Amino acid sequence: MSAAIVDDEAPWRRMVSAYAESWLAMFGLVLLVICLGLALAAPLISPQNPYALAQLDIMDGSLPPGSEASAGFRFWLGSDDQGRDMVSAILYGLRISVAVGAAATGIALAVGLAFGLIAAYAGGRIDGAIMRIVDIQLSFPAILIALILIAVLGNGIGKIVFALVTVQWAYYARTVRASAMVERRKDYVEAARGLGLSSARILFRHMLPNCLAPVIVIATVQMAHAIALEATLSFLGLGLPVTEPSLGLLIANGFQYVLSGKYWISMFPGVALLVTIVAINLVGDRLREVLNPRGPQ
Partner 1 sequence: MTAYVIRRLLQAALVLFVMSLLVFFGVYLIGDPVEIFVAADADQVERARAIAALGLDKPIWEQYTSFVQGALGGDFGRSFVFGLPAVTLILQRLPATLELAFAAVFLTVVIGLPLGLWAGLRPDGFAGRTILAGSILGFSLPTFWVGIMLILVFAVQLGWLPSNGRGPVAEFLGIKSSLFTVDGWRHLILPAINLALLNIALMIRLVRAGVREVLPLDYIRFARAKGLSWGRIVGVHVMKNIMLPVVTVLGLELGAVIAFAVVTESIFNWPGMGKLIIDSIQRLDRPVVVAYLMVTVAIVIFINLVVDVVYSLLDPRIRLKDLDH
206, 119 contact by CB (below 8 A):
no
CB 104 within 8 A of CB 230: yes
Nearest distance in Å: CB 286, partner 1: 11
The three-state secondary structure class of 294 is coil
For residue 79, the cross-strand partners are 85
Q: Which of residues 242-281 bind partner 1 (CB under 8 A)?
A: 248, 251, 254-255, 258-259, 261, 263, 266-267, 270, 273-274, 277-278, 281
Residue 76 in the binding site for partner 1 (CB under 8 A):
no
238 binds partner 1 (CB under 8 A): yes
Percent of residues in the chain assigned helix, strand, coil, to nearest 5: 75, 0, 25
Binding residue for partner 1 (CB under 8 A) from 147, 181, 197, 213? 147
How many residues interact with partner 1 (rule CB under 8 A)? 42
User: SS3 for 85?
Assistant: strand
Min dist CB 159 to partner 1, Å, is: 11
Task: Return d(Cα 252, Cα 137) in angstroms, integer.
Answer: 29
For 111, other C-beta atoms within 10 Å of its C-beta total 17
Q: What is the nearest approach in angstroms of partner 1 to the Cβ of residue 240?
A: 15
Q: How far is the CB of 74 from partner 1 (least distance, A)?
A: 24
Cα angle, residue 156 at apex, residues 114 and 82 outer, rounded to 5° = 140
User: Binding segment for partner 1 among 44-52, 118-126, 141-149, 181-189 (CB under 8 A)?
Assistant: 141-149
Collapsing DSSP to helix, strand or coil, 67 comes out as: strand
* Contact positions vs partner 1 (CB under 8 A): 24, 136, 139-141, 143-144, 147-148, 150-154, 224, 228, 231-232, 235-238, 248, 251, 254-255, 258-259, 261, 263, 266-267, 270, 273-274, 277-278, 281-282, 285, 296-297
